[in-house]
Structure 1
């Protein structure tokens, strides 16, 4: 049986659009905060902006969970489902990974060693700095039947507010422990597993292991399963959650400043894989979901822009790293050496607009979907 096609949830496209633009902003700011001549004031402001945009990857996981449960809860033809994701996700990923490999290392010698290195980079998402995300998100498609079976048992829990609160609280507690394990225990204990495979998958490459992002997928799945009630919850939470978000933002900002050494701000203190950032990110996703609902209901130019960016977000994600290189080069010509924050913002604007234009052009050519993934309306 095939999955029943349902209408698109507009606010998910808006949230996805916010997330992809935040990814580009993160990467643009990251270029300039690492320059040794940066002033502390610029670095501190970039760090604060970086914290604001850290919701992006968890938001993508949240949207994936919501969309999958919303569309594939009743019926799932798993082989057809998985084959579609191979064509829509892995094929463009393969093409762009090869392109980034050639850009970084030049034309390859067609020999066994190069093919083995490419295969390893594809498996780990190491062909370029941003491609790890594809490896991580695809794991959710692979194991979706397991999550689906859990969600199909959820109605009995969802019917009781007490059981529902207890279940979400338990998931949050488990995930908080995983975040503590990742950010505190592993580094302090210099943990080494007995197995090389376990060491690589669960310790060295934990930033692309789906287990370390499962809560956002489950939260998105809950939203997709009880969409009207989820929207009501988001609307009711707008006031109190704003205060919670502000308090958590101060907390993670304080942690970021604790990592300052020699006037340099270390963005590694803004990792998503720690308890404080987990709490902050959940609050921010709920807040931005509410904003997305308002934008989606407005039908304004802002909605059309975020909606467009959201629908083409995968292609934008794959392409933007190339465009950022040239955007930064253009901005550097203006010699904004004492204005790194401004240079980062300018680079972001050029990269975002340029990438959207390129992806739109690719969508018009025959076979464009093999480069940027699914094309809306086709």
Structure 2
């Protein structure tokens, strides 16, 4: 099945990947330079971090947009199995790697601790790759939508998904942990990130944009005069809620991020559609995005600590560039081994005019062909 290349997705995937790495660099700076950064510097970095929070949910949009565009009416054979091989297996493999890494850093490495931590990473997605489980839930939901909701009204479905998403995130954003719920503190702190209702709005918008790609592009061209201002307006709301202490947590699982992310995706999609040439660095980061996603945190943590004697404004860009570069290099080297793809998944095909009719289906599966 030939799939028309959507060049805007290469830009989206690259930018989303870079924002995730940048956020972790900023987080490490807050940790390593606590008490050193001025209040103005802390506020500035916090604002930058808030502006970058659209990155993680953008991956949900990319994933479903491409699936809906490639398979709008039917699901191919072995749809899930082929995603298990190069997405779920690396998730399990890296769960063990990160368990070993975190226990080694903390000096608590024992055989028992490694088993417990590995199982915790795998079962409750208690490490950086939790997002793979989010994506996998949407593979299943894509099958359900394709089988049962093809004829449903897009406006109705998107509205329903938005309401569900707002209620779900609103509950965990504004209701404190309930004492009678087992492990309530952990659920409210992290576990609520994993279930699909927390990301449902992005999925629904992507599903209908992917199924109706031409109409989506026409919508952007027709409405960009006012859509271009939507990221600014929605970001001002985020700043108000954050610094007004109504939503003090700066993460992508906030109710206000829903509207900001979609507005950013639409504007980026529109602007990049006007760019005829894709720079090699953009293509490179997009192709290696899964490996960067899985590996970068290890390098961010270590480089940030190694350079903590430097000025933080030197530390951040240095850590950022090195973490991405080493992640790409290690992914490349691992792919020279037969088992490499079971650690860092597949690498995307290099973009050229010869690959114009080949479309990677997903930011994490790259060359999985079905």
- The two structures have a TM-score, normalised by structure 2, of 0.83
Offset of 1:176 from its aligned partner? 2.5
Aligned twin of 1:24: 21
2:3 is aligned to 6
Contact 2:162 2:200 in 1 (8 A): no
**1:177 maps onto 2:167 in alignment:** yes
Alignment check: 8 A CA contact 1:47 1:256 kept: no
Distance of 1:150 and 1:47 partners within structure 2: 43
The DSSP-based 3-state class of the residue aligned with 2:274 is helix
Q: Give the whole-Å Cα distance in 1 for the aligned partners of 2:297 and 2:186.
A: 26
Equivalent in 194, 197, 203 of residue 217 of structure 1: 203
- Give the direction of change, closer, same or farther, for the CA distance of 1:151–1:314 in structure 2 (3 Å limit): farther
The answer to whether the 8 A contact 1:29-1:341 is kept is: no
Q: Which moved more, 1:28-37 or 1:98-107?
A: 98-107
Aligned partners of 1:19 and 1:57 also within 8 Å: yes
Larger fraction in helix: 1
What SS does structure 1 have at the residue aligned with 2:335? helix
* TM-aligned CA deviation for residue 365 of structure 1: 3.8
Query: In 2, are the aligned partners of 1:32 and 1:341 still within 8 Å (CA)?
Result: no
Closer/same/farther in 2, CA of residues 24 and 181 from structure 1, 3 Å limit = same
Question: Secondary structure at 1:346's aligned position in 2?
Answer: helix
| Aligned positions, number | 345
Q: Distance in 1 between matches of 2:155 and 2:150?
A: 18
1:349 has 2:321 as partner: yes
* Mapped contact 1:193–1:199 kept (Cα < 8 A): no
Deviation at 1:356, TM superposition (A): 2.3
TM-score with structure 1 setting the length:
0.81
Aligned to 1:161: none
Aligned residue number for residue 132 of structure 1: 130
- The answer as to 2:284 corresponding to 1:285 is no
Aligned pairs for 1:81-96 within 5 A: 81-96=79-94
Q: Work out whether 1:253 is the aligned partner of 2:225.
A: no
Q: Note the alpha carbon deviations across 1:49-81, whole angstroms, 9 max, x for none.
A: 111110111100011111121223333245x11
Contact 1:102 1:108 (C-alpha < 8 Å) held by counterparts: yes
Q: Which residue matches 1:208?
A: 194
Between stretches 341-350 and 219-228, larger displacement belongs to 341-350
Whether the 8 Å contact between 1:66 and 1:220 is mirrored in structure 2 is: yes
1:296-317 deviations in Å (ceiling 9; x for gaps): xx2142xx32222222211110
For residues 154-204 of structure 1, what are the alpha-carbon distances to aligned partners after superposition, in whole Å with 9 as ceiling and x for unaligned? 4xx3xxxxxx445433433343233322211x32xx43676x599987996
Quote how far apart the aligned CAs of 1:359 are.
2.1
Give the alignment partner of residue 289 of structure 2, picking from 310, 313, 328: 313
Whole-Å Cα distance in 1 between the matches of residues 271 and 325 of structure 2? Answer: 22
- What's the counterpart of residue 264 of structure 1? none
Deviation per CA, 1:318-364: give whole Å up to 9, x if none.
Answer: 0111221232134324x21xxx3443233212222332233233334
Q: CA deviation at 1:222?
A: 1.0
> Aligned equivalents of 1:43 and 1:203: distance in 2?
22
Which shows bigger deviation, 99-108 or 314-323? 99-108
Contact map agreement 1:14 1:292 (CA 8 A) in 2: yes
Instruction: Provide the rounded CA distance (Å) in 2 between the counterparts of 1:131 and 1:170.
Output: 28
**In 2, Cα distance between equivalents of 1:68 and 1:201:** 30
1:121 maps to 121
C-alpha contact (below 8 Å) 1:43/1:341 kept by paired residues? no
Q: Which residue of 2 aligns with 1:152?
A: 150
> In the alignment, what sits opposite 2:99?
101
Asked whether the 8 Å contact 1:255–1:269 carries over to 2, the reply is no
Gap change, CA 1:293 and 1:192, over 3 Å in 2: farther
Change in Cα spacing, 1:332 to 1:9, as seen in structure 2 (3 Å) is: same
